[in-house]
A and B are shown apart, each in its own frame.
Chain A
């Protein structure tokens, strides 16, 4: 039952703070939220310890710790609520609770004095709860429900500053875009469960992977528009995952989601929400890998294109949170194509392990980057690079931890990102050379834009803000509660790479020895160092070299600065095409024909009613007269008809 407490504690906190928070618990809301999450995190670590370390035997099996039939449709098909332990869900439990705990601690300082402090913590708890429920799902419908809960809680958090119109727009955008993608997910679920006659994950995977199963033949046999039902199902499920994970072209919500409080961005980008899509594909990975390599190829290309695309955009953005947002999209792209190049079982499963490994390490350094950026924003009161510069002396802790995170994401050994990225690259090398080169170039660009960010914040212009900061805003680098998470996460960003990840997580549960060859590592390290050196040359000191390059590449730069006009394309498609061709005619029909019919009936009734109304004069003698008339009428009837 300890296990159940892991998701239930944040849920209880959400209820407590959501109902009583604002009135009674405002001063202690942060403490309540943080301590309940601390217990959750400790329980998850304990669960991970007993699952991975105290484990005996060769294979990690999935254990259903608790299960309840919630909504039975028939004997086979039922929606269950349960708690499943397998390598990826246990790993995710640890990642989600630890990163969320860091965000909780950090928010104690960051959100201090906020009017809706308790509400904020309630939403954070809800977010954590939904993500925890998602990762332990036993049933594809359970995962869908928690998936939507994640969507709702991200909507609430992104729109936390609801009096800011841009935040409201961003939260709506995030919700609508991911909802649109979830439509695909839902249809995918229906297709898969229709053919497999089950919603349960274990049974579903079993039925759709065994080569002699009748369910699989039925799913492959029926086709629509030239693709089999199985492919359609998996592609549509991936569409849901791509929406949540901000894969091209459904990524447009992610940069705008920066309108939320910065710790929330850290939570969304590192541990919850965006990795949900990767998790979903990983959860159904056997089906993708064994039965439908075509769908997996789509995953691969989507991931690779997103990784490259986002990295290019990230080089041009000036809002530091947006740079980080695009870097998240790029790294998630890495995880996706790593899944895409993987096969099922044994050595082929390297990509799967690498993807999960990268998810794990990325959670640490991305949370660290966002929390560090939060500290900078907290001090400067601006998101723009041009307002920063030379902060390395006034914010030593933030500076060092941010540097560690940048090195980790750039893939410099011995930091965590190096190891996972290395595995992804060797998986790509084994499977598909084109993907390998895309990934390699992206790695170089990543190093470049991360260090562009780093130099712009901490070096570049020499501390021109110092005096003005000390005068007006004396809170300096931030409270202790803001520094502790940075330090803890930087330990993770340094050390997480040394975990022998292949021993724990692999596509089929067997131990996988991760190959590590110096020869393979030279290229990525070289590219990363080249990127860093380029950034150093351009941005370490204030100079006009970067402006010259921008001028030389003006076309590409402008395109990337405007995010390749994807938002504008969406607006064009929705506003010009959908609204004009479908929306307006539909509105016209609704207003004139549907409403018109209703209004017509209503006014007819009113007209009749007005005619009849005058009979009810309220005068007793009129009624008496009607009564007489009635009696006479009856009398005449009686005389002439009855007789």
Chain B
């Protein structure tokens, strides 16, 4: 474990974040967009853990934040899925392109 430098972990989490961002912008399926959001959240979690471990090994702040983020991500997923279900009821579709009532 200790052999892996911090930079590598940051590179992984960055990759994960940008994959999530890319997925969020390009996928038209709302569920897929939700998954992309989860990817971004988890990349942040990795960052928290890594910085905590490498810079302040005596403190637990980063870990605590991560737990919070996981909890919030779960809640967010629940809310997002509820929205998607309602949207589906209205438009019979979960395509983000179809939900454009706010246009102009």
Contacts and interface: CB of A to CB of B under 8 A. Distances in A.
Contact of B103 (A617, A621, A624): A617
B59 interface: no
B24 A621 contact: yes
B96 interface: yes
B78 interface: no
A620 B100 CA distance: 8
Contacts of B58: none
B104 interface: yes
Contact of A618 (B21, B24, B33, B104): B104
B100 A618 contact: yes
B24 A617 contact: no
B2 interface: no
A160 B104 CA distance: 53
Contact of A619 (B21, B24, B26, B100): B100
Interface string B62-82: 000000000000000000000
B25 A613 contact: no
- Give 4 nearest A-B pairs by CB, closest first: A618-B103, A618-B100, A618-B102, A616-B104
B104 A624 contact: no
B104 A613 contact: yes
A620 B21 CA distance: 13
B96 A618 contact: no
A628 interface: yes
A543 to B, nearest CB: 86
A354 B22 CA distance: 104
Interface string B92-104: 0000110111111
A68 interface: no
A616 B96 CA distance: 15
Contacts of A614: 104
B25 A624 contact: yes
Interface in A603-635: 613-614, 616-621, 624-625, 628
Which DSSP category, helix, strand, loop or mixed, fits chain A's interface? helix
Contact of A624 (B24, B100, B102): B24
A605 to B, nearest CB: 16
B96 A619 contact: yes
Interface string B13-57: 000000001001110000001000000000000000000000000
25 contacts: A614-B104, A616-B102, A616-B103, A616-B104, A617-B100, A618-B99, A618-B100, A618-B102, A618-B103, A618-B104, A619-B96, A619-B97, A619-B99, A619-B103, A620-B33, A620-B96, A620-B99, A621-B26, A621-B33, A621-B96, A624-B24, A624-B25, A625-B25, A628-B21, A628-B25
Contacts of B104: 613-614, 616, 618
Contacts of A618: 99-104
Given A614-B104, A619-B97, A624-B25, 4 more contacts: A618-B102, A621-B24, A621-B26, A628-B25
Contacts of A616: 102-104
Contacts of B96: 619-621
Nearest to A615: B104
B40 to A, nearest CB: 11
Contacts of B101: 618
A618 B21 CA distance: 19
A48 to B, nearest CB: 76
Contacts of A628: 21, 25
A621 B97 CA distance: 9
Which of B24, B26, B104 lies at the interface centre, i.e. has the most chain A CB atoms within 10 A of its CB? B104
A621 B102 contact: no
A618 B103 CA distance: 4
Nearest to B98: A619
